Amino acid sequence: MSVTEAVHTRAHVDLAERARRVLPGGATHASRTYDPRIYVARSSGSRKWLIDGTELIDYTMGHGALLLGHAHPAIVAAVQEQVARGTHYGAAHPLEVDWAELIVSLVPSAEKVRFTASGTEAVMLALRVARAATGRDRIVKLQDHFHGWSDAVSPYLDGEGRTRFPVGVPEALGALTTVVRTDDPAGLESTLAGGDVAAVIMEPSGAHYGQLPLDPSFISAARAACTAAGTVLVFDEVVTGFRVAPGGMQSVLGITPEISVLGKVMAGGLPSGAVAGRADLLELLATTIAHPGTFNANPLSAAAGIATLQLVADGAPQRTAESYAVTLASEWTAALASAGVPGTIRRLSSILHIFLGDPSAQARIANAMRAEGIDILNTSAFCSSVHTIADLEQSVTAFARAIVAASTPN
Ligand SMILES: Cc1ncc(COP(=O)(O)O)c(C=O)c1O
């Protein structure tokens, strides 16, 4: 059965109806609100299966968390073994130490690590640490950069350069969060020159894991300006950490922040986040900052995280995923050219970003890809170390059809 047929089966339609009754918008995540909704029952390797058994090639890959693919045998074994030993001890346990040691050994900024339950929480904690360390309240973020959904990092600039606040985020936060444009290094320097900014937070890949690349000279300038102003530089490596290289984007750039925020790959597809940074800053968590969190370093996430980090430590899975992405990017680029569809494919390591020239085609591409049996995350495709030649061939054919469908008004 095709995905288009599958989503119209009674079972899918019934689930969508039940979902609308109990979940706002029938959804659980801002990126999973598309219709027709798909309901996935199982996943393995590069594939996932809908409730009726229809198969898709997956490039959402756990929103980027699954560098090693779905249900990697080593991760499954680690989690199975741990679940039987208990999922929460309400006490320290050996795995949290092993996990932190692995992170310290891989991530340049990581002298010490504090675990959280998500990337969003890790961002909140990183900012708290920076504020505590500097005694300053203001933070700076970059236009378009995404750091999860907490209030402090939600303001953005509109077309006229005015600060805007998503619904539910108080405008009073404008006094604490300054949004700086990424084409304006001088603006960043002058904002920091006042000496009242606790932290600059950025995605070192550029906004949305490389959708809008950031000039490395901007990052170097930010590094220097932070040092000069006594401001804490925070790299949000929730997506790039362990994926673009074992040491993340900071190891690729050769620029080390005071604090890195981690998530996704670090826990092999289970929930977690972490703040990994300079020892004296992290030690504030042992003195002046109280940081609870029921699921911090929970044994299940720790077991999955350790199994994952051991496998990715030598960089081999990252290289495999990246070389797959290189081929896929060139095949998709060729497909655009031969179909005469305006657009480009941008790549950061194993992540591809689709840009179609026509905005309505861009808005339709994910649904068009799903109709062809390929699931992408909005307009991005996360490749894993287990995507195969068969996946590649199918993904190229599907993309060639999807770009035409997306470009054709209904
Ligand atoms: C760059 C970046 N930072 C932070 C987050 C938030 O992480 P989480 O979804 O685990 O809260 C995300 C989530 O996609 C992200 O892409």
- Summarised one tens digit per residue, pLDDT across range 164-187 is 999 999 999 999 999 999 998 999
Note the pLDDT tens digit of each residue in 7-25: 889 989 999 999 999 999 9
What CA–CA distance (Å, rounded) separates 29 from 8? Answer: 22
What CA–CA distance (Å, rounded) separates 34 from 96? Answer: 37
Is there a contact between 309 and 158 (Cβ–Cβ < 8 Å)? Answer: no
Provide the pLDDT confidence category of residue 409 given band limits of 50, 70 and 90: confident
Give the class (CATH, top level) of 73-312. alpha beta
Is there a contact between 140 and 199 (Cβ–Cβ < 8 Å)? Answer: yes
Mutational pocket test of ligand 1: of 120, 150, 265, 272, the residue with most ligand atoms within 8 Å of the beta carbon: 120
Closest protein CA for atom 7 of ligand 1? 119
Ligand 1 contact, 56 CB (< 6 A): no
Which is the closest atom of ligand 1 to the Cα of 264?
Answer: 10
Which is the closest atom of ligand 1 to the Cα of 123?
Answer: 4
The Cα angle at residue 154 between residues 150 and 155, in degrees rounded to 5 = 150
Ligand 1 contact, 60 CB (< 6 A): no
Closest protein CA for atom 13 of ligand 1? 148
pLDDT computed for residue 223 by the predictor: 98
Give the class (CATH, top level) of 3-70+316-407. alpha beta
What CA–CA distance (Å, rounded) separates 369 from 395? Answer: 9
237 CA distance to ligand 1 centroid (A)? 9
Note the pLDDT tens digit of each residue in 236-295: 999 999 999 999 999 999 999 999 999 999 999 999 999 999 999 999 999 999 999 999
H-run or E-run covering 375: strand 374-375
Strands 138-142 and 177-180: parallel
Do the first three CATH levels of 3-70+316-407 and 73-312 match, i.e. the same topology? no
Helix axes 299-312, 73-85, angle to 10 degrees: 150
For the sheet with 343-348, list strands across it: 343-348, 351-356, 380-382
Q: What is the DSSP-derived secondary structure letter of residue 231?
A: P
Which residues fall within 8 angstroms of residue 306, CB to CB, at 6 or more apart? Answer: 78, 95, 98, 99, 102
Ligand 1 contact, 147 CB (< 6 A): yes
| Domain ranges, ordered by start, for the chain | 3-70+316-407, 73-312
Note the pLDDT tens digit of each residue in 363-398: 999 999 999 999 999 999 999 999 999 999 999 999
List, in sequence order, every beta strand (DSSP E) within 268-326.
Answer: 273-277
User: Residue 410: is its pLDDT beyond 80?
Assistant: no
Strands 138-142 and 112-116: unpaired
H-run or E-run covering 319: helix 316-339
Closest protein CA for atom 5 of ligand 1? 148
Closest CA relative to residue 301, chosen from 103, 109, 31, 59: 103
Ligand 1 contact, 317 CB (< 6 A): no
Which is the closest atom of ligand 1 to the Cα of 121?
Answer: 11
> Model's pTM, two decimal places?
0.98
